[in-house]
Each structure stands twice: as C-alpha cells, then as structure tokens.
Structure 1
C-alpha cells in the first residue's frame, strides 16, 4: 500500500522523497523490528524507537519514515540519504501509528465485533467471560488480547515477548488482521489506561466499550487519580459506538452524559439496565437474580464474590448488546470455565485450598480477601508483595488490608523490576505491623509459597496474590519464567 494511502485525510508534510512509496513490510515503532519495505514511525520517548532510532531503522531497510511534529530536528548524527527514502512529518506520531497500521492491515476492526474493557479491576475476568459466553452460547470464534497474551481459543498468536497488556498499535493492528484472516467474528481486548492514553487502540472501530471501576493504581504513570480517570474515560470519547458501564462506580455515572443514548448500565447496589439481587454465595460460586427490562432470570456463576457477579453483569450486558439471546447467555454463565489466575483454585493432597489471584491493588486485594473470609472454614494465609517501579503509596495500605483480613501473611517479592525487593517489603511492613497479624518476610517467591504451604493445615486457605496467570517474574529488565499456580502444583506434588 502506498504511504499516501496510509496517510489519506491525515495532516502531513513531506520533507523529502515520494509519498507514493509502496509500504510492503508493515509498520513499526521499534527500529530493531524494521525489515526491508517497512514504514518506521519515530515516536518520541519510546524505548527502541524515537528520532534517535532513525539511523538503525534506515540500516534495516525502512523505505519511509514518519517523524513527530514536536521534533524540530533529527539528531545531528542521523543522516537520511536524499532520494529513495520518504521522510514525512506528522502532528502526532502515536496517532499516525494507529491510523497507518490499521489501514495497512485493511482496517480489520471494521470486519469483526470489537469489545474493549477498561477499568482498574476486572478487565481480564470480563474479557475471558465474554469470550467464554460467546463460545458456549453461540459456538462463536473469539479472539482475546490482554494480560495473558493474544489468542484465538487455545491457540496463541506468536508475538515478541512483552509485558504490555495492550500492545502498541502496529502490533495490535497486526493481531486484529491475523484474527480476521482466521475467521474470528468477535474480539475482546483489555484497554489499559496507558494503552488508551498513547493511542494504541485508536482507529479500531470498537463496538462496545466496557467500564468496570476506578480505584487507586498506576499513579506512577499518571501522577494523580484525576489523570488516571481521564485516561480511562478516553475510551468513551469517540473510540466506541456503545458502552456498558458500572453504575455503582462514581466514575461510571459520568459516562452516560458523554455518550447520550448509547450507554447500558449494570449494578449491584442500585437499579440499572442490568442489575442483580438475592445474592447467595459459597465456595463454589454465587447464585443471584438478574433483572432486565422488567424480566427476572435466575442465574449462577461458578465463582464466589460480589465482584464476580459484577463482572458477570458486565459480560451479560455486553454480549446482549452484540445481539445474543439473553436467556442463552444466562444459561452459558453457569458453564463458565475457570479463569486462569483469577480466583483460580487448587487443593493440595493434604486438604489445603490454594487460591491464585491477580489482586495487586488495594481494592482488588480487599475484595478477594473479604470474599475468602466469607466462606473460609479455618485460617487464611496470604502470600503477597508489591510491584517495583510502580505506585509506592499503595504499599503500606496493602499491608494493612492483608493483615486485617488474614490470620498469617508471608510477605514476598512480586515483580521487583528495578527496585530492591527488601526495600519494597520495608514499605509494606508498617501497614502489616499496625494490624498485629503475624507475618514472615521471604523475598524469594518460590520459597515464600513453599513456606505458606508448609504451615497451612487441612481446611486452611492460602491466597497467593499479585501475579495471577503471569508466566514470568520481572527482575530488572528480564522476564524470568515463573508461574504461581505451576509452582503450587509442583510443591504440592507427592514426593516419590
């Protein structure tokens, strides 16, 4: 496709070369992934990209380049040879990356039902539930893009290893193109605050945007809760046609005014378009009554907790908006398979119940532990830590929550990234100490899990919180293989 076609309708200034240049090898914002025939987009501040990466991108065969309107000059060491390479300046390279990447792959979002889920907690759960619901109720072929990677059913789509939940726009549009070409009818994606703020899902033609909730997290990226909120709300400012929002959340109540006539609400604590009453819970799940359009539907989800019902309501509303029969969806809800790393359960040979959950914010940890306390027959032992190079203001608060709702805590390392795990635990400790609950510090996560299993008795519940289904631990800049559930299964296996 010609560069001029990729940029049609978008402001740009040709600095040199021919905008009729054919782009034959895709788009990239990472210089090391450029191949002959690529369009390289120099995004300021992007690691592996930016103006300083123009030289390496040229060396790898880029035939055209976009530079940002905020970039007055390329680094003096960079020389773009006259002729051959087309150099274009655009007002915003991140916006241009989304548009050009989408067009290069034929605007695949237009050809599938697109669902984007945003919020502090529940993104992964709702994504999995929407996928499962459509597959069980309709036999649909669904693509998922999120924390656990990108897949169609059980088939992973190979991509460079990354810790990004919402991929950068060239990768995102490539994935959508792959899914369309493999017969996918619906795609559900996790839209993170940074993914929305940096235009990664722009030009994706999202049919339904879902808002779950907003609680403290990611202040290291956004600085204030107001900035964090505004990044989430960007999904509902022209990026989606319709919305499903949590009416129990104060931020959710703002969205109907932003999209008049295009919002469906769900709630537990108030009447809404989809709302639940009569919740009864045990360790195996939650029964409730679904209300919609003056009709009542007895429903059950095989997950305990109010938060699980809230996620179920979001899922039912979303799938219903996509045109699927509500009675069939309610029936499918009861058959929902376990969600990896989200209240994922395992029982050891000695009778200890283990729950692995992604809870890594104060609100999510509080909700998971409160739910467990509601059915725990004996002690609750919590293994947890906090991520490094992330909002450190939540650390003591998470310590207080864990201590208040547990009988014993084992404090450990999460994803320390560039921080010293011992220093992170130092910042969690005051919150734990204030509760008077006994705790141990074991920085090595495998040893911490082993210790919790060793002290747990029959009928105790061990919660391992923070990483969920993540298959790695981030230490420095390395992604080291590590799975909480795989570790539990290995440690609990009978010795021969």
Structure 2
C-alpha cells in the first residue's frame, strides 16, 4: 500500500516528500525492516523519536512523527508530521488491514469490573446463535479455539486491527473487545465505530503512576467509548452511568434491578445443583427471560444483564441467550470442570490473599457441604503472600490442600512451610500433598456430595515453572487423566 493511501484518514503535513510502497507499519524500532513505515510513539517510558535514526538505518521507507527531528533525514525517506502519532497509528492500521470492523458485528465493553466475564458471555451467546465470535481482552486474543497472548487488556491499535483482520479472514462474524480506560486514553480503538458499547460499573482503580492522575480522568477516559458507537447500554444501578455515557447521541438501553431500567432483573437467587453452581434471575421490560447463569456469585447477574443488553442490538434468538449464559465461562476464573459425582470442581487464578478471599467468600454463599481449597504459592516472591494465603484459606475453607505452584528456584517444601505458618493462625484443617497432580487426585477421590473444590493459583496458565524451566501443565488435562486412571 502506498504511504499516502495509508494516511488517508490522518491529518498530517509533509516534512519530506515521497510516496513509497509500504510493506508494514512498525512502532518498535527494533522490528523495522526495509520498506516499512515507522510511527514514533511517545510513551511514559520511551519516546520513539529517539529511535527514528535507528529506524532509518534499518531501512524504514517513511517516518510518522509528532516532534521535529534533530538530525538530517537522508534522501529517499518520506517523513510526515501529525499532532498525535498514536492516533495516526490507529487510523493507519485500520486502512492497512482494510477496515476489518466493517466485516464484523462489533461490541466494546468498558467498566472497572466485569469486562472479561461479560465479553465471554456475549461471545458464547453469539456462538450459540451460530455466529462465530472472537474476543480481545485480559486473556488475550481468542477465536477459533485458540488463544494468543497480549501484553495489555486492550492491545496497541495495530495488534487489534491485525487480529480483527485475521478473525474476519478465518470466518469470524462477531467481535467483542474489553475497552480499558488506558486503551481508550491511548487511542488504541480510535477510528472505529462499534455496533454496541456497554458500561458495566465504575469504582476506584488504575489511579496514579503511568495510569490516571485522578478519578475524574479515569471516568473521562471510559466515557470516550460512547463517542464511537451506534448503540449503547449501561448499568443504571451504578451512579456514574450518566456521566460515562453523556456523549452518546441517542437513547441508552439501561439495565439493572432498578424500576427505571429498560431491562429489569428480579427474583435473583443462587443456584447449586449436581455440580452446577451459578445464579438465576428473571428479566422484564425489554425481554422476558428466566436465565440460569453458569458463573457463581450474584454480581454475575449484572454481567449477564450487560450481555443480554449487548446482543439485543442484533438479531439473536432468546434460546441462544439462555443457552449461552448457562455455559459461558472465563478460562481460569471460577471455571467449572465437569467431573463424575455430585460435587463441584472449579479452577481459579486466585494467587494472592485478596483474590482468594473474594473467591472463597463468594462460594461460601452457596453453603457447600465442604469448601475445599487446593493451592500453593509462587517461589522467589515475598513470603508475606504465603502467610496471608494460608491464613485466608484456613479461615474460609473447611479443608486446605497445600501443594506446589510455580516454585521457581525455591524448594517447594520451604514454600509449603511458609503457607503453614499462616494456616496455624487459624483452626482450619489442612493436608499437605506436594505434587500438584496428586493433590488434585486427593481432592477428587475424597470429594463428598455437595462439596465445592477450588483448584487455586494456576487458572488459565498451562505451565509450571521449576528451577527456571517452564513445563507444560494444564489442570484440565490432569483432571481428565485422573478420571481415566481411577476409572471414575
């Protein structure tokens, strides 16, 4: 693609004439190759303008800059100047990948909590309706049964557009993205108009450092999403909803438990039956539904309402909504694993005391026969985390099963001894099974009817790190092996 075609949506001035053929867009000077255009981004830690000379040395055919350069530009290199190179990168990337959002149904979700779960619910509803879906968010780029890791919840604009193009070319028809406040602030979604935007909730987070200077900026950045959507839905029970959606020029589809919501929920209750744990509620107003949601915790009724609101802007059958909400889950987040027997087995990423407290407190509400927590702790990390995790599990679990995690360069028994220090501050019962697979086997073979068992710490990870080496280890595979080995 010619440089000026790439810049068709960008406001710029020409510093050095030239319209070379561009093979790719690069924003990391280390990845520049002949024929590429280098966008000099300015970030909190680095300024791409400092690497412009290096980019030229590596064969960059063109530069996109926002600041004047302090060196002479050699012949044959085109240079354009724009006010915001991050915005330019987003607009160039859309053009380079031929505007992939035009081939997809698009949904963006913003909010402090619930984005990942809501995205998973929306994607599953689309799938149940026969519409292939892909997502970008905390877990990475997910479509076609594969997950590709990313550095940020909302990656750089080039990575988003490339992923969307790959999705569209692979037959994906619906796209759901977690729109973080940082991503919106950095113009990573700039230029796109989403078919639907959803606001979940707003609370104190991401303040200070390189993120947001205060809550006002945090709220403002989230509100940016509602300048670039055709339809909008918002949680009416959150006081910030009107400020965050203030720039939307249309009717807001509100959801919540309040009487004023256009999609109202009522009669919510916890569900626990034959290994299934989740939440049930009914809706009225926009839709009259009675969904069972396969993710535990009453707060997931709000995530489900957000998902219903989002898909209501498309032609989605109610059956697909009900089926999708029942089976949707986030890999490694209180993820249910089907096992023989009348007990629940969950995999969760909780790997510190706070996340463990949140998960176990939620599961306690289901009044299990026993709440059993299997966990370890990471090596070469502060010991206080181990004490705190031991104390939290001892206080909230009926039984703690202590095992290995990513022991790294420490002896697993030393880590377990530190966990026991925290456990001994409580009267919680515990057993020690150092090998993780054997600890899972112990939990499964000793499970009783009505138990809830949480395998904590690994979540979506599919490896175990020991003495600097990462070995493949997926707890789902271990569970399947145990079922086969034990004839369960």
TM normalised by structure 1 equals 0.77
Q: What is the aligned counterpart of 1:185 among 173, 184, 187?
A: 173
SS at 1:96 equivalent: helix
| Corresponding residue number in structure 2 for 1:153 | 144
1:257-312 per-position Cα deviation (integer Å, ceiling 9, x unaligned): 3425342222246652222212232142433211123x632222333331332222
| Corresponding residue number in structure 2 for 1:376 | 368
Quick check: 366-375 or 164-173, which moved more?
Answer: 366-375
1:111-141 per-position Cα deviation (integer Å, ceiling 9, x unaligned): 322111223333222222212212212x113
Tell me, yes or no, if the aligned pair for 2:120 and 2:328 is still in contact at 8 Å: no
1:388-419 per-position Cα deviation (integer Å, ceiling 9, x unaligned): 99xxxx999988876654345678998999xx
SS at 2:79 equivalent: strand
| Corresponding residue number in structure 2 for 1:317 | 309
Q: Using the alignment, how far apart are the partners of 2:387 and 2:203 within structure 1? A: 16
| Corresponding residue number in structure 2 for 1:100 | 92
| Corresponding residue number in structure 2 for 1:26 | 24
Deviation at 1:316, TM superposition (A): 1.1
Deviation at 1:364, TM superposition (A): 6.5
Deviation at 1:99, TM superposition (A): 0.9
| Corresponding residue number in structure 2 for 1:265 | 254
Tell me, yes or no, if the aligned pair for 1:38 and 1:61 is still in contact at 8 Å: yes
The aligned runs of 1:74-113 (5 Å cut-off) are 81-113=73-105
| Corresponding residue number in structure 1 for 2:238 | 249
| Corresponding residue number in structure 2 for 1:346 | 337
| Corresponding residue number in structure 1 for 2:264 | 275
Q: Using the alignment, how far apart are the partners of 1:478 and 1:269 within structure 2? A: 52
Tell me, yes or no, if the aligned pair for 1:216 and 1:363 is still in contact at 8 Å: no
1:336-384 per-position Cα deviation (integer Å, ceiling 9, x unaligned): 3554323222367798743113457988755533332114211332637
The aligned runs of 1:58-207 (5 Å cut-off) are 58-69=56-67, 72-73=68-69, 81-137=73-129, 139-154=130-145, 156=146, 162-207=150-195
SS at 1:109 equivalent: helix
* Shift in alpha-carbon separation, 1:363–1:57, aligned structure 2, 3 A: same
Tell me, yes or no, if the aligned pair for 1:471 and 1:481 is still in contact at 8 Å: yes
* Shift in alpha-carbon separation, 1:478–1:11, aligned structure 2, 3 A: farther
Deviation at 1:100, TM superposition (A): 0.9
Q: Using the alignment, how far apart are the partners of 1:352 and 1:80 within structure 2? A: 71
SS at 1:62 equivalent: coil
* Shift in alpha-carbon separation, 1:251–1:60, aligned structure 2, 3 A: same
Q: Using the alignment, how far apart are the partners of 1:227 and 1:432 within structure 2? A: 41
Deviation at 1:464, TM superposition (A): 3.5
Aligned residues: 478
Tell me, yes or no, if the aligned pair for 2:106 and 2:174 is still in contact at 8 Å: yes
Deviation at 1:67, TM superposition (A): 2.2
Deviation at 1:224, TM superposition (A): 6.2
TM normalised by structure 2 equals 0.78
Q: Using the alignment, how far apart are the partners of 1:132 and 1:332 within structure 2? A: 8
Tell me, yes or no, if the aligned pair for 1:39 and 1:65 is still in contact at 8 Å: yes
* Shift in alpha-carbon separation, 1:346–1:175, aligned structure 2, 3 A: closer
Q: Using the alignment, how far apart are the partners of 2:255 and 2:281 within structure 1? A: 14
Q: Using the alignment, how far apart are the partners of 2:442 and 2:482 within structure 1? A: 10
| Corresponding residue number in structure 2 for 1:211 | 199
SS at 1:84 equivalent: coil
Is residue 287 of structure 2 the alignment partner of residue 289 of structure 1? no
Task: Please report the RMSD computed on the Cα atoms of aligned residues, expressed in angstroms.
Answer: 4.7
| Corresponding residue number in structure 2 for 1:12 | 12
Q: Using the alignment, how far apart are the partners of 1:116 and 1:233 within structure 2? A: 11
| Corresponding residue number in structure 2 for 1:469 | 460
* Shift in alpha-carbon separation, 1:359–1:316, aligned structure 2, 3 A: farther
* Shift in alpha-carbon separation, 1:212–1:66, aligned structure 2, 3 A: same
* Shift in alpha-carbon separation, 1:491–1:93, aligned structure 2, 3 A: farther
Is residue 349 of structure 2 the alignment partner of residue 355 of structure 1? no
Tell me, yes or no, if the aligned pair for 1:29 and 1:49 is still in contact at 8 Å: no
Q: Using the alignment, how far apart are the partners of 2:185 and 2:470 within structure 1? A: 25
Q: Using the alignment, how far apart are the partners of 1:362 and 1:247 within structure 2? A: 31
Is residue 3 of structure 2 the alignment partner of residue 3 of structure 1? yes
Quick check: 188-197 or 397-406, which moved more?
Answer: 397-406
Tell me, yes or no, if the aligned pair for 1:16 and 1:82 is still in contact at 8 Å: no
Deviation at 1:236, TM superposition (A): 3.0
* Shift in alpha-carbon separation, 1:255–1:448, aligned structure 2, 3 A: same
* Shift in alpha-carbon separation, 1:412–1:15, aligned structure 2, 3 A: farther
Tell me, yes or no, if the aligned pair for 1:382 and 1:402 is still in contact at 8 Å: no
Q: Using the alignment, how far apart are the partners of 1:381 and 1:466 within structure 2? A: 10
* Shift in alpha-carbon separation, 1:402–1:169, aligned structure 2, 3 A: farther
1:50-84 per-position Cα deviation (integer Å, ceiling 9, x unaligned): 23433443344321111233xx545xxxx665221
Q: Using the alignment, how far apart are the partners of 1:81 and 1:409 within structure 2? A: 65
* Shift in alpha-carbon separation, 1:11–1:92, aligned structure 2, 3 A: same
